[in-house]
A and B are shown apart, each in its own frame.
Chain A
Amino acid sequence: MELSGMLFYLVSFLIMGGIYSVICLALNMQWGFGGLFNAGIAGFYAVGAYSAAIITSANSANHVGGFDLPIVVGLIVAGILSGIVGWAIARICVRLKADYLAMASIGIAEIIRLAVINEEWLTNGSLGVSRIPRPLEDFFTGRESELVFFIFVWIIVAITFWVAHRLYKSPWGRVMRAIRDNEAAAESVGKDVQSFRIQSFVIGAIFMGVAGALSAHYFKFFSPDATEPLLITFLAWVMLIAGGSGNNKGAVAGALIIWAIWSMTEIITQQLPPDWATRSSYIRMLLIGLFLQFVLQRFRAGLFPEKAPKLNVKSHG
């Protein structure tokens, strides 16, 4: 019994760890490869989660949809819609320095949050969408269903990893990484490189949407609370940098390790006396904020440092 309890905990840990791995791999396509700063991950995640939820859930009187379509269709639509949002924003910002994209992506996340809360006909507002199915629910229930979902999530992780790896190996990927850290060269790059950057941003956005969809299916319920920027955007950044930006293995390792630390701090803070327990979430936020600073200053290359591409780019004299 004890053992199966542990196992059960491990499975649910690995499900969330897998979802975060997808986000981190997606972020790595944008930041690690292209130097494109996305501060609105939560927005793309929300687009994906709500698209999947609305498309696959059963009919509901409270909001549009309930199309009851297969989960795969939901995932695809989630990816496409999130990708379209990513494309629109990347088109505008990709020719400018990363800071502009950062600001615009904060904006897009904010607008999506507003829409999710206010457009009740679509999303049921702050009450959220419920009765979202999990794959093969008719055949497996309870813990078995968790196990099935765990396999499902990690198949998606594998697909994401494969796509990220292909991007990384592509000739353009090399050029991108070579110019990424060289602002002078990045400014003078031509249209082709810009379109590649848009491409990597869009592919990243697609997978962020897919990750959102996965979490909607996992929780079977999705409300605006679940798109809290802290939990999505911020943790993903900490994960990627700690794991090693530019390195796909690092992205997955970072996601799992940071998610483990994050989950453990929850267990620890639950042991605190009651009047501290209410503050525990702020303590965790503070610690993760400080941890990011530590990683940035002392541990920037991450657990799995990127092997720098060999390509000599001249700086301006």
Chain B
Amino acid sequence: MMDFINFYLIPGITLGSIYALGAVGVSMIFGILRFAHFAHGDLMTVGAYFALSAVWLLGIPALAAIPIAMALTCLVALFADRAFYKPLRQLPTIYTVIASFGVALIFRSVIQLLWGTESQVYSVGFQKPIVLFDSLRIATRHIQIIAATAVITVALNWFLHHTQMGKTMRAVSDDPALASVAGLDPEKTIRWTWIIGAGLAAIAGVFVGLDTDVHTMMGWNLLLPMFAAALLGGIGKPLGAIAGGLIIGIAEEICTYPILGESLISPSYKSAVAFVIMLLILIFRPRGLFKGRLL
């Protein structure tokens, strides 16, 4: 039992937290700009590499580099929106999807050019896990990631329900036509969507780097579970996306847990779990668990 918690459940929640932070942005962009943002995974990679540079140049720990990474990643996202997505705003959104597919490639190739393709780590050395109640072992980085995600969830909930911009974003996500009838400024809302989405993506990227390592494909590889999480939570429901991320992260780990000596699936097929969940949602509940909207 403790093995299950130590080696499957806690890593699952950690992984789920990372998916959750990425999926919030995907879900908000879905809700407000109405397209599947294929460059979101690579935006996470961008954040992770900014933090890496800050760690190298300033000699600070990765967690302290997060604000820098967030700020720079926001700028990158705002620039990408201005240069590549805004010119296509009046067209069917699928053109923006195609553009974002290309932006993913642009992000990745620039990273490969500037930082190279070798895997990197924020810090070398082994952190001893913290032992609680004799047998509960949690790695420090897992505590940090899970706690930070919990704090962000509370803050996001407060932002969405108690600030003018939060309510505006929910209103635009509900009905963009009515939002413009109400005189709300769509471009300002879109800017804030990128700021929050990119900020959280940067955090998620740094967390991936903390948990494993930093490499140029890290974000692209997370795109599928993030999309699945956003769909599971319901499009335009950022808090649903957090729940969706956690569910998928935990499900991926649990599916590899050897029940009766035999795990449900081979660990090499972990990312198939997200895909299967995505297909099940599309078949049975296209609006997700929390009644999101259909695109």
Interface residues of A, dominant DSSP:
helix
- Comparing A138-146, A189-197, A281-289, A302-310, the segment that makes contact with chain B is A281-289
CB interface residues, A 212-243, toward B, < 8 Å: 230, 234, 237-238, 241
- Is B268 among interface residues, defined by CB-CB distance under 8 A? yes
Query: How far, in Å, is A85 (CB) from chain B's closest CB?
Result: 13
- CB atoms of B98 and A97 under 8 A apart: no
| Among candidates A96, A110, A117, A183, residue contacting B92 with C-beta atoms closer than 8 Å | A183
**Number of contacting residues on B, CB 8 A?**
45
Query: How far, in Å, is A52 (CB) from chain B's closest CB?
Result: 24
- CB atoms of B109 and A285 under 8 A apart: yes
- Is A47 among interface residues, defined by CB-CB distance under 8 A? no
- CB atoms of A114 and B294 under 8 A apart: no
| B278 proximity list for chain A (CB < 8 A) | 103-104, 107
Quick one: closest A residue to B274, CB to CB?
A107
| Among candidates B91, B102, B227, residue contacting A293 with C-beta atoms closer than 8 Å | B102
- Is A39 among interface residues, defined by CB-CB distance under 8 A? yes
- Is B105 among interface residues, defined by CB-CB distance under 8 A? yes
Query: How far, in Å, is B130 (CB) from chain A's closest CB?
Result: 34
CB interface residues, B 80-105, toward A, < 8 Å: 83-84, 87-88, 91-95, 97-99, 101-103, 105
Quick one: closest A residue to B83, CB to CB?
A293
Q: Mark A254-293, 1 if CB is under 8 A from B, else 0.
A: 0000000000000000000000000100110110111011
Q: How far is the CA of A108 from the CA of B271 in the complex (A)?
A: 11
Quick one: given A92-B283, A104-B279, A114-B268, are A237 and B109 in contact (CB under 8 Å)? Answer: no
| Among candidates A102, A285, A286, residue contacting B36 with C-beta atoms closer than 8 Å | A102
- Is B194 among interface residues, defined by CB-CB distance under 8 A? no
- Is A93 among interface residues, defined by CB-CB distance under 8 A? yes
Interface residues of B, dominant DSSP:
helix
- CB atoms of B295 and A286 under 8 A apart: no
Quick one: given A118-B269, A289-B103, A292-B102, are A96 and B275 in contact (CB under 8 Å)? Answer: no
| A106 proximity list for chain B (CB < 8 A) | 38, 223-224, 227
- Is A136 among interface residues, defined by CB-CB distance under 8 A? no
Q: How far is the CA of A282 from the CA of B116 in the complex (A)?
A: 10
- CB atoms of B95 and A111 under 8 A apart: no
Which of the listed residues A106, A183, A283, A300 has the most CB atoms from chain B within 10 Å of its own CB?
A: A106
| A288 proximity list for chain B (CB < 8 A) | 105
Q: How far is the CA of A261 from the CA of B123 in the complex (A)?
A: 42
| A74 proximity list for chain B (CB < 8 A) | none
Q: How far is the CA of A296 from the CA of B223 in the complex (A)?
A: 23
Q: Mark B199-233, 1 if CB is under 8 A from A, else 0.
A: 00000000000000000000000011001100100
Query: How far, in Å, is B31 (CB) from chain A's closest CB?
Result: 12
Quick one: closest A residue to B220, CB to CB?
A229
Q: How far is the CA of A93 from the CA of B279 in the complex (A)?
A: 9
CB interface residues, B 12-52, toward A, < 8 Å: 30, 35-36, 38
Quick one: closest A residue to B87, CB to CB?
A297
- CB atoms of B295 and A99 under 8 A apart: yes
Query: How far, in Å, is B268 (CB) from chain A's closest CB?
Result: 5
Quick one: given A92-B282, A106-B224, are A286 and B98 in contact (CB under 8 Å)? Answer: no
- Is A137 among interface residues, defined by CB-CB distance under 8 A? no
Q: How far is the CA of A296 from the CA of B93 in the complex (A)?
A: 12
- CB atoms of B84 and A293 under 8 A apart: yes
- CB atoms of B271 and A110 under 8 A apart: yes
A-B contact pairs, 29 of them (CB 8 A): A39-B101, A92-B282, A96-B282, A96-B286, A100-B282, A100-B286, A102-B97, A103-B36, A106-B38, A106-B223, A107-B278, A110-B275, A114-B268, A114-B269, A114-B272, A118-B268, A181-B92, A183-B92, A237-B101, A279-B112, A283-B109, A285-B105, A289-B109, A292-B99, A293-B99, A293-B106, A296-B88, A296-B98, A296-B99
Known: A286-B105, A289-B106, A292-B99. 11 other contacts (CB 8 A): A37-B98, A99-B94, A102-B94, A103-B227, A106-B227, A111-B271, A241-B98, A283-B113, A286-B106, A290-B102, A292-B105
List of 8 A-B pairs having minimum Cβ-Cβ separation, nearest first = A285-B109, A292-B102, A289-B106, A107-B275, A289-B105, A286-B109, A99-B36, A282-B112
